[in-house]
Structure 1
Amino acid sequence: MTQLKSRLMTFLMFLVPLLMAPGYANAQQPSEAEIKEMIQEQFERMYQKGVDDLESRIVVTGGVKPFAVVTDTGDKTKTIRIKQIEEMPADVALEVLRRSLIALLKKGKIGATAVFYTTANPNKESEADRVLVVEMEHIFGPTLAQLVPFTIDEGKALFGEQVVVEMENKIFNINVDEEPAE
């Protein structure tokens, strides 16, 4: 798991600057470099908290039901788990979680999200039959998904090589000026 954390941190150091749109530098706003650093730190904190939270669960059950780690508007990181999700099919649970995060976003409660879930490995040539997916989004624009194949062997999760890709916004694709969801 430490290897998994280390790979993401290295990747984020190089990816976040590439994803940031220029134009934030202004005397009254933080510089572009400060914004990039803030985003990277928030992604790292959310990822670390999520991995710490799922580490024991993934070994016991062979996967995890969708949950999120968010950074709120006060720059505090917290885990969001919806109790009812544990009883839902995974695809329904993921949609419910995303809609709940959108509702929080519309209310101005969050600025960054990391959604964690496991699914069947789409790469049929891989030895790993499952994949850990971490979808990270930030209100300032950067989005990425990390896919890490894994197997459970003798009570331990063994992770393969990660693949990191840009993705479409799933949470921050709404007009924040719309009325908040009830």
Structure 2
Amino acid sequence: MKNTSTAVRATMFLIFLILPLGELYAQSGGATEDEVKQMVQKQFERMYQKGVENLSDRIVVSGGVKPFAVVTDTGDKTKAIRIKQAEEMPADVALEVLRRSLIALVKKGKIGATAIFYTADNPNKEANAEKVLVVEMEHIFGPTLAQLVPFTIKDGKARFGDQVVVDMEKQIFNIKVDEEAAE
């Protein structure tokens, strides 16, 4: 997966371009703005790497993956989250269940960053790749982006194309602080 390190570097470069950083955190004396940027970058990179490792075998076997997440908790530990029942659900339903579960964890103060991984049909009908790997990354300090990577399965290996990084609306960290935790 030589493309992985290039993709990670490109993603991290774009993060710097779209970061509306957590100035409140920096102003509160917790860290400088540069320290916050570096922390966010490292967390996104760790989540991305863990997610790619988690899906590489699955994507070859089935041609896609059911939605799963990689999160960074408030103790700066990165872990993969899979919902066992989601494996049996249609992909769109599994994605919604996963998002709601992550929102519940955010409301409980358990996580500070998320990366949701799933595959979808390639929106570019003129492309050679029929599928794309979608990685939606969000951080409690504000950065939010979606990465689309076209892929094909050939000779038992996943071959990834050039990624496209786009802005996206917050879906996990768009809650009000005073909302009650959901189940």
TM-score w.r.t. structure 2 length? 0.94
Whole-angstrom CA distance in 2 between matches of 1:163 and 1:153 = 21
State the match for 1:70 in structure 2. Answer: 71
Does the CA contact (< 8 Å) of 1:105 and 1:176 recur in 2?
no
Q: Find the aligned partners of 2:43 and 2:160 in 1 and give their Cα distance.
A: 23
Report if the CA contact (8 A) 2:15-2:41 is conserved: no
Structure 1 residues not aligned, in runs of 5+? none
- What SS does the aligned partner of 2:92 have? helix
The residue number in structure 2 matching 1:129 is 130
1:71 shift after superposition: 0.2
1:96/1:109 Cα in 2 relative to 1: closer, same or farther (>3 Å)?
same
Q: CA RMSD in A?
A: 1.4
CA contact (8 A) 2:22 2:142 kept: no
Give the drift of 1:128. 0.4
CA distance change for structure 1 residues 164 and 102 in 2, over 3 Å: closer, same or farther? same
Question: For 1:40-97, what per-residue CA distance to the aligned partner results, in whole angstroms no more than 9, with x for missing partners?
Answer: 0000000000000001110001000000000000000000000000000000000000
- The farther-off stretch of 27-36 and 133-142 is 27-36
**Contact 2:113–2:140 at 8 Å: present in 1 too?**
yes
SS at match of 1:116: strand
In structure 2, give the amino acid aligned to 1:2. Answer: K
> Counterpart of 2:8 in structure 1: which amino acid?
L
CA deviation after TM superposition for structure 1 residue 19, in Å = 1.3
How far apart, CA to CA, are the structure 2 residues paired with 1:82 and 1:148?
Answer: 23
The runs of at least 4 consecutive aligned structure 1 residues that moved more than 4 Å come to none
How many percent of aligned residue pairs carry the same amino acid? 69
Counterpart Cα distance in 2 of 1:57 and 1:28? 44
SS at match of 1:180: coil
Find the residue that maps to 1:112 and give its secondary structure: strand
